[in-house]
Amino acid sequence: MSARQIPTLPPAETFDRSSGWQYAPLPTQRKFHADLRTLHKGFSGPIGSGKSVALVYEALFLSALNPGLLGLIGAPTYPMLRDATLRNMFDVLANEGIRYDHWRSENILVLPDPPFFGAQILCRSVDDFERLRGTNLAWFGLDELTYCPQAAWSRLLGRLRHPGANRRCAFGVWTPNGYDWVYKLFISEPAADYKAYLASPRENKYVTETGLYDSLLGTYDEQLYRQEVLGEYLNVRSGQVYFAFKRQAHVSEAADYNPRLPLCFALDFNVNPLCAVIAQIEDRSTYMDTVHGRKDLHINVIDELFLHNSNTAEACEEFVNHTRDYRRNGVPLTVSVYGDATGSQRKTAAGAGAQSDWAVIKEYFRVTPGYQMSFRYTSTNPLVKDRVASVNGVLRSAAGECRLQIHPRCKNLVEDLEQVVWKSGAAQLDQSTDPMRTHISDALGYLVHSKLALRSRVGEVGTSPV
């Protein structure tokens, strides 16, 4: 690609890196880049605060300060590296007109022109951090640091020892993720030569103007909104998992069968208990919702299955027993089936031979009249935290909206939502006090996440002008 002359970086005391670059850093981005003394520095901020863009530009600035030397840019996993971090990198290089070579087999970027003079950037995922040994680096930077293992950061610190480096630096960018190792290392108990720059919410007017933050107010639950949008540090994985659930607000006999709506059947393939919820989804989206690409979906859980020492075929029989009265005038019931992705491999059905749980369900309803089935399960289950956040978001959004109602007959689901707690010190649900708990709320979670997914926003793209 064609190149233009990139200006030499000025001294720190007269720092203004926007001069001669297309980059117009936001206030916190500017402070982060201007710090040329701190050995370990971080950029923490909410969605849209320009973290990923800051990561890329800091990598370029350090490459310019260490011409001809080796640095590393990393992400928690290879898909994140490929789809977010490198995508941002290539966008910035193109926008700035910086010529580069990409050695695809080694996944190395080479910047041949001044002021880089052949500087190289290793592009690596850090999930297998033992592979990070053996390289002398002038600098390194990690995207979404809170999703990276602390051991990866430690391994890379051991490689930050290039003898020719003019400016050694280890840096990371991240969205708050509770009181984790990153919070302790950079904010609550910062070690020597550690400093974090915390971006303010809505600092990036380019994102604010899109209405993203306002749309998330009606989608995220209050805790997730405070963490992801306001950038606050919260202990979101302690105590009651479904903190937004309130029996008085969410349990109602109004959540009963509506013959105008299709059914949803969502399963968790445990053996004892094998659980499922039967629900209906009402689309209350307005014309303006459609214009802006939004959906206002409300979920009514009308019944549940909670079967002890059971199997998938028996769950299908119970579903038919619970829904037989809904059939009218010979018209088949339309049913969408959701659930546990492990059902593609797991075989809980007695006498099912080599059939998986999902295969058993498909075969059962192939020969059972009165039902028109479609299957909506995915190849992998969502992250627990994403599934939980989706459920809390429909229980009560940050704007105070409730989009989930449960019929009183669903006693086990109500107990789950009230009683399931986080396992101490881990992002896992606690089953130690009652092994019957967590399964039926998992079934609900698969349905809610499939229809109203709140996926992790890792490595935002285009959140800052470049």
* CATH number of the structural domain spanning residue 44: 3.40.50.300
What gap in Å lies between CA 275 and CA 440, rounded to an integer? 5
Among 182, 210, 238, where does a domain finish?
A: 210
Beta carbons of 232 and 413 less than 8 angstroms apart: no
Q: How far apart are the first and last CA of the chain?
A: 18
pLDDT tens profile 167-204? 999 999 998 887 789 988 998 888 889 999 999 877 87
What gap in Å lies between CA 63 and CA 294, rounded to an integer? 42
User: Which tokens sit at 293?
Assistant: 């690409």
Is 239 part of a structural domain of the chain?
no
**Do 263 and 179 fall within a single domain?**
no
**Do 350 and 285 fall within a single domain?**
yes
Provide the number of structural domains found in the chain: 2
Is 216 part of a structural domain of the chain?
no
* CATH number of the structural domain spanning residue 272: 3.30.420.280
Is 221 part of a structural domain of the chain?
no
pLDDT tens profile 213-272? 767 766 777 777 777 777 777 656 667 889 888 888 899 999 999 999 999 999 999 888
Please give the residue that has the higher pLDDT: either 239 or 125: 125
**Do 182 and 275 fall within a single domain?**
no
**Do 288 and 348 fall within a single domain?**
yes
What gap in Å lies between CA 275 and CA 308, rounded to an integer? 9
Question: What is the domain range of residue 95?
Answer: 12-210
Q: What predicted TM-score, i.e. pTM, was given to this entire model?
A: 0.62
**Do 280 and 338 fall within a single domain?**
yes
**Do 42 and 174 fall within a single domain?**
yes
pLDDT at site 453: 63
**Do 41 and 187 fall within a single domain?**
yes
Question: Please, which pLDDT band fits residue 461 given cuts at 50, 70 and 90?
Answer: very low
Mean pLDDT of 348-376: 83
Give 280's contacts (C-beta < 8 A, 6+ positions apart): 257, 258, 261, 262, 263, 264, 299, 300, 302
Among 193, 210, 227, where does a domain finish?
A: 210
Output the CA torsion sign for 201, 202, 206, 209: positive
Mean pLDDT of 400-418: 92
**Do 297 and 400 fall within a single domain?**
yes
Is 462 part of a structural domain of the chain?
no
**Do 399 and 312 fall within a single domain?**
yes
Mean pLDDT of 393-404: 88
Is 423 part of a structural domain of the chain?
yes
**Do 35 and 177 fall within a single domain?**
yes
**Do 53 and 195 fall within a single domain?**
yes
pLDDT at site 49: 86
Mean pLDDT of 155-167: 94
What gap in Å lies between CA 221 and CA 270, rounded to an integer? 28
Strand pairing report for 263-268 and 274-283 = antiparallel
Task: Determine which of 142-156, 236-250, 301-315, 422-436 has the lowest per-residue pLDDT on average.
Answer: 422-436
**Do 16 and 93 fall within a single domain?**
yes
Is 110 part of a structural domain of the chain?
yes
Is 236 part of a structural domain of the chain?
no
- Interaxial angle between packed helices 51-65 and 86-96, expressed in degrees from 0 to 180 and rounded to the nearest 10: 60
Is 280 part of a structural domain of the chain?
yes
